[in-house]
Structure 1
């Protein structure tokens, strides 16, 4: 055999050996992950200052006894978390808090005691605790903390939950934010997905540092980004906010290797503020958040004040950090589809039956409430109507609409069917009011009877009738009572300040930066005038009533006018009613005058309301405000009339209000005709 033939034989043998090794490695990996059709068990490796949970799919490293996640190994990536960060700044819990009158403080909730709660081949659950006592003073939040981490056989990820507790007699505190934070490798994770229509390649952290700061620190104009295609765009973490009811899965994708990192939340029961509360999701970092409570889109009107030594305990989570992967030949966005499938699995598995804390009840220790909700409004229908697709929920006992401002208790919400039938399952034992609101119907519903939930109970409420605010027939109306300003005119943003993701997206047009400044462009000298029967609120009613920019950082209060006509008015007893629903209020005051713009004292005023910042933070709503305003007949006249709506506060360009719905009702007897 010549030298060439021998060389070919050697290369062939090496090639056969290489494929054998690859096959053996793959087989070994398959054996490691599967044994008689079942994945290998979970293993816990205990080291002096760290714990490692490993199920063959994912390996999670935690600091001990602090309980921070310092590493997550998956699919060939030694650590998907940012290794250039210190270990305590990769995966952690924190709270924003303060003692009344004191400065804001941050507490990373680091544990001081570590325990193994459960350890077998099917599951490992770890506990990292911190106990508070009076000797700590103001150095840490007055909370007892128990952070839990669960890894299960065959599960591609890790579950996280925490039990927070305050004992009787503890000092007053405000707790404005509670969250989990993950910071991923910024050299790998560049593609972010929040929903089917909010996915994109994101800027790098250094792009924000080199960019041009805008009106507030979170918003930056990208002037020289690493990816030139992002040049001239605005980046702002509030672009990617989401309502609780829609915030089920979000995260990031790495293309080399093709790996996804996802935050999955199977239930809203432990989140603050109900289903419409908006909060952050993922943003440049790459950062992944699980927000349990915050003052975003609510301000201090969301009750985060713990007072009078009242005891409190709440379980936050579990949430699920899910990792998935595909080959480099497949479309990376299929990881998003798989993450949604996993999210459905988690939702259908709620409440989980595997957490070991007695404070997290399984389904057999929970209750059920069912019924049918109708709407009784004789000016719309002689008979009660179905409350079609109403949102119905249980929350802590309180006033009408109090659920939206509650951060302390659990809430359980469903959407009724077309006929108003609702079934609320898996309710924790406790005492609740039943609340609701109906799309297309103004106001808030509350069932006045306290509902007591016992383990295993099945409460049937039967037929409930909601009678919305109504004193007389509708003379005119502006908007749709849906608790948002989405139906009103949202302008195009400036071409130099856009986020390209939202171009040609009508449902997300309001998310562009700087829309408040467009009011001064459209109404440089005179304010908005709306004529009922002629104007179209989709085109003629600006989405937010904000101050006018007068230049040199000065702003002017604005007064909008609604012009309408009453024909055949005759002297009558009884008054008119102006129903005003606000979708948002931030550092604002609404004053209402009828037919006399210069009246020194307005006929109605809200005084200073709201700190939700929804206008600046690209939200089409914040908290809901409702006012039923009595209008004496003497204030209106036959023929032409005008309602003057003044937003009198003008210290901030982003202060103002968003209207949800306005309706003028005639006196309760026979209403006059209107054009």
Structure 2
């Protein structure tokens, strides 16, 4: 381990590289530092980390390099000082913890001897109320021609295909042959499902990966999706994006962070481009989390939460999604929460769940029907307003009863899991404009049609009709409830909802006036026009169907799209009519 005094940059750089025998920090001047170890080194300037040397090759080249920013690219953090805050060993291996200070907070690089890369974490000091906060690498595009997430792996589109005359919207172009689209949003993936992701070139012999075994510092729930890798359209840089607090597919997520909020640690890992090696390393990292070498008391002080959910009709809440977040009530959905720390789990077949390694504190618990759940008919959300997690203790919530509707179901289309799974194209790979393949007019016949006969999104003027049979005369004089659950909504489309000849409500953009009709003005999320096919921001609505509207025998529910915007509209979760 080594700290050098200031020296002329060129001679110092050569000396540092040749003399490195362990992790080091070297000051070039008051705004330039070199960090690394025997394997790699990087020159850190006032904002950008450049000259990343690995295997005697500059992996940044003419690209921007490494930096930390918030609110998109509007604010790049400026580093005012750098120092080693800890010299240590773990399992006999020396390491140093280097702290780069900015007005907004502290960026740490924890570098072990002979480590291919570095652990990183950020501690908040004075970040403003914000939506996007990220760290990232922008690397040489010839060294790193490919991208990989848990859901997509392949060649990043070449910069030459980004023709200005073919641009159609935000970061989206038609391909030069006019037969498809290029957009960075096709490289989106699920935050909580990631094992490792990054940019690489097996043929060039280089890989740069992020491995995030701890995910409690991210905002949002299991429906959270974010950009991971892409081609920078202005320069061609290969982008490895670490969206610590992201909003790309949400209505908004504006959070105030407590001082000391920690994002990370995660591992930034360098290798020869081997995905199998990166996968092996990710398994090691996941098994090691929470990291024992980080001597931070709040980070190490944890407990666990467990319980068993049973529906009020006696069924176990099998394979339900469980979310541990802010205490309730909250003015934010589970997807929108992001100030502190968040945890998810899935119940087993008996409704049991356990959430390990939870930071101590107060939380609220929510649960809903999860993907492939045996309780897909349950439209309600279970809530437990407050619970406390204590150090080294299991918070056993015991038997929990989930109150569900006692009404009789007349029909249901889809599953109440907050995703569009099961519908035509629901959950297909992220791709621009897929909703345009759904028809303008669609008829679903209860008892004859299957879930696949309903498309994942409605975006074109026309009528989507559900035809069903009401067998009982007496039911015709009762009121009913039409439940409409959306996996996402992108503004610019309006829907009038009919039951037989009666309008029972409207769904539209923005604020609405009062005309005696139940009309919901929806805020927009960018899901449909940013390549999403499974989720955006979940919404739930109930519409009263008054007595006399339904009749014995044939009936129908119709969603009439009266206003359209290309690639915008409604992404479906589930629809249910009950007495």
- TM interval, shorter chain, is 0.7 to 0.9
Aligned residues of 2:504 and 2:544 also touching (Cα < 8 A): no
Residue in 2 that maps onto 1:218: 171
SS in 1 for 2:286: helix
Matches within 5 A, 1:175-190: 175-190=130-145
* Structure 2 residue 488 is matched with structure 1 residue 584: yes
After superposition, give the CA deviation of every residue in 1:425-450 in whole Å (9 maximum; x if it has no partner).
11112210112223243335344341
Query: What's the TM-score, normalizing by structure 1?
Result: 0.73
Residue in 2 that maps onto 1:129: 101
Q: Distance in 1 between matches of 2:561 and 2:338?
A: 29
CA drift of 1:165 comes to: 3.3
Aligned residues of 2:442 and 2:463 also touching (Cα < 8 A): yes
Residue in 1 that maps onto 2:54: 74
CA drift of 1:42 comes to: 2.2
2:501 pairs with one of 582, 586, 596 = 596
CA distance change for structure 1 residues 72 and 314 in 2, over 3 Å: closer, same or farther? same
Q: Distance in 1 between matches of 2:563 and 2:24?
A: 61
CA drift of 1:111 comes to: 2.0
1:361 pairs with one of 290, 299, 317 = 299
Q: Distance in 2 between matches of 1:257 and 1:531?
A: 55
Aligned residues of 1:476 and 1:532 also touching (Cα < 8 A): yes
Residue in 2 that maps onto 1:113: 81
1:263 pairs with one of 206, 210, 213 = 210
SS in 2 for 1:406: coil
Aligned residues of 1:129 and 1:146 also touching (Cα < 8 A): yes
SS in 2 for 1:269: coil
Residue in 1 that maps onto 2:3: none
CA drift of 1:600 comes to: 9.7
Matches within 5 A, 1:168-567: 174-195=129-150, 198-208=152-162, 210=163, 212-223=165-176, 233-255=180-202, 257-284=204-231, 285-300=237-252, 302=253, 304-306=254-256, 313-325=260-272, 335-357=274-296, 361-362=299-300, 365-376=301-312, 378=313, 384-399=314-329, 402-439=333-370, 440=373, 441=376, 442-443=378-379, 445-468=381-404, 470-490=405-425, 509=428, 511-519=430-438, 522-523=439-440, 527-539=441-453, 541-548=454-461, 558-567=462-471
CA drift of 1:561 comes to: 2.0
Larger radius of gyration: 1
SS in 2 for 1:245: coil
Q: Distance in 2 between matches of 1:486 and 1:449?
A: 29
SS in 1 for 2:485: strand
SS in 2 for 1:418: coil
Residue in 2 that maps onto 1:57: 39
SS in 2 for 1:404: coil
Q: Distance in 2 between matches of 1:386 and 1:600?
A: 34
CA distance change for structure 1 residues 605 and 518 in 2, over 3 Å: closer, same or farther? farther
1:156 pairs with one of 116, 132, 136 = 116
Aligned residues of 1:67 and 1:128 also touching (Cα < 8 A): no
Q: Distance in 2 between matches of 1:324 and 1:186?
A: 16
Matches within 5 A, 1:612-631: 612-619=525-532, 620-631=534-545
SS in 1 for 2:157: coil
Greater strand fraction, Structure 1 or Structure 2: 2
Greater helix fraction, Structure 1 or Structure 2: 1
Q: Distance in 1 between matches of 2:239 and 2:497?
A: 44
After superposition, give the CA deviation of every residue in 1:443-494 in whole Å (9 maximum; x if it has no partner).
35344341122322321111112223x241221111122221131123xxxx
Q: Distance in 2 between matches of 1:459 and 1:288?
A: 38
SS in 2 for 1:323: strand
Residue in 2 that maps onto 1:41: 22
Q: Distance in 1 between matches of 2:362 and 2:517?
A: 37
Question: Runs of 5+ in structure 2 lacking a partner?
Answer: 1-18, 232-236, 507-514
Q: Distance in 2 between matches of 1:369 and 1:600?
A: 41
Q: Distance in 2 between matches of 1:410 and 1:204?
A: 38
CA distance change for structure 1 residues 449 and 232 in 2, over 3 Å: closer, same or farther? closer
Q: Distance in 2 between matches of 1:349 and 1:473?
A: 49
CA distance change for structure 1 residues 599 and 254 in 2, over 3 Å: closer, same or farther? closer
CA distance change for structure 1 residues 603 and 476 in 2, over 3 Å: closer, same or farther? farther
CA distance change for structure 1 residues 43 and 568 in 2, over 3 Å: closer, same or farther? closer
Q: Distance in 1 between matches of 2:367 and 2:562?
A: 32
* Structure 2 residue 559 is matched with structure 1 residue 659: no
Aligned residues of 1:591 and 1:603 also touching (Cα < 8 A): no
Query: What's the TM-score, normalizing by structure 2?
Result: 0.85
CA drift of 1:160 comes to: 1.6
Q: Distance in 2 between matches of 1:592 and 1:293?
A: 36
Q: Distance in 2 between matches of 1:260 and 1:111?
A: 27
Q: Distance in 1 between matches of 2:33 and 2:576?
A: 61
